[in-house]
Amino acid sequence: MPARLVYEAILETGISVSLRYEGHMSRRKQIYEGKAKILFEGPEPGTLVQYFKDDATAFNAQKKAVLDGKGVLNNRISEFVMLRLAEIGIPTHFIKRLNMREQLIKKVEIIPLEVIVRNVAAGTMAKRLGIEEGEKLPRSIVEFCLKRDDLGDPLIAEEHIHAFGWATPAELDEIIAMTLRINDYLQGMFAGIGINLIDFKIEFGRLATDTGHVVVLADEISPDSCRLWDRDTNKKLDKDRFRRDLGDVTEAYTEVAQRLGILKETNNKTAPVLSVVSNDD
Ligand code: C5P
């Protein structure tokens, strides 16, 4: 049976989002399952298929839910962001989107760091340093956490990275330089659609080459991994809606996708419907 997506989102009044997908997940060999994504063996050596689940977790997976359609939206938003970043010369693991929930990516060795950039105080930094959420930081700040779920991804210093060899000094220099460029670009991209990029988390991987390896942007960039606030109202359009029980999570992600021009609005006066019923592509 061909994979098929049924997507319907009614916004503004009487919000209703319904995204269902019948895919081909089981055909491929699963090599890793994370909280929001599954990695399968890819069709060619050196490739993987990254599958976006609807599962949402927060607070180191103490809070869990399934949000209908979240994976579809994150796949599309992350594809869009990775492609824009590639255009400005950021090397990424992204090759192409395969269908509504899957993308083909280059196989990389993930560097065990969560690289967080903050432009405005929020979340754990606001709490840790006693800064009011929403206060603009004197400059963008890059933080590192160790990717260790069993330890709750602890905050670490560059010193730890060097001492324990989690990345070489050259890799870390590249990571920081790329991270700041990504932040500059994404701040502008989101500002253009009326959104403040408060903070975000990215990950990098080592991509093998004939002569060694290069560091590339990996994982995803989506409302799961960014804080995105509407410029005029400060409405949260990101995973904090789930973390803080604000409701309308997929509606907020849909709004981000719509503002980025990924989802086309069709004009129907009784029910503004986004996008289409389409065959898998
Ligand atoms: O929770 P905290 O304030 O440290 O998060 C900073 C940023 O990093 C937020 O945008 C959050 O969504 C993202 N993040 C993430 N995955 C984590 C931790 C944080 O995407 N494991």
Query: Whole-prediction pTM value?
Result: 0.88
Q: How many CB atoms lie within 10 A of CB 130?
A: 7
Q: Which pLDDT tens digit goes with each residue over 114-134?
A: 999 999 999 999 999 999 999
Asked whether residue 252 carries a pLDDT value surpassing 80, the answer given is yes
How remote is the CA of residue 124 from the centroid of ligand 1, in Å?
Answer: 8
Is the distance from the beta carbon of residue 37 to the nearest atom of ligand 1 less than 6 Å?
Answer: no
For the segment 83-106, the average pLDDT, to the nearest whole number, is 98
Q: What is the CATH number of domain 109-230?
A: 3.30.470.20
Asked whether residue 214 carries a pLDDT value surpassing 80, the answer given is yes
Confidence band of 27 (pLDDT split at 50, 70, 90): confident
From CA 140, how far away is CA 135, in angstroms rounded? 12
CA distances (Å), origin 214, targets 11, 84, 185: 43, 20, 21
- 8 A C-beta contact, residue 168 and residue 104: no
The token duo for 57 is 């977790």
Q: Where are the domains of the chain?
A: 4-107+248-279, 109-230
Q: Which pLDDT tens digit goes with each residue over 158-198?
A: 999 999 999 999 999 999 999 999 999 999 999 999 999 99
pLDDT at residue 26 in the model: 55
Among 179, 197, 199, 226, the mutation site with the greatest number of ligand 1 atoms within 8 A of its Cβ is: 199
**Long-range CB contacts (< 8 A, 24+ apart) of 254-258?**
254/9, 254/11, 254/17, 254/69, 254/73, 255/11, 256/73, 256/77, 256/195, 256/223, 256/228, 257/73, 257/76, 257/77, 258/11
Asked whether residue 105 carries a pLDDT value surpassing 70, the answer given is yes
Q: Which pLDDT tens digit goes with each residue over 29-45?
A: 999 999 999 999 999 99
> Under CATH, what is the fold of the domain 4-107+248-279?
Phosphorylase Kinase; domain 1 (3.30.200)
Asked whether residue 8 carries a pLDDT value surpassing 70, the answer given is no
For ligand 1, atom 19, the nearest C-alpha belongs to 201
Is the distance from the beta carbon of residue 124 to the nearest atom of ligand 1 less than 6 Å?
Answer: yes
Is the distance from the beta carbon of residue 219 to the nearest atom of ligand 1 less than 6 Å?
Answer: no
Nearest CA to 52 out of 99, 92, 112 is that of 99
What mean pLDDT value characterizes the chain?
A: 89
How remote is the CA of residue 272 from the centroid of ligand 1, in Å?
Answer: 32
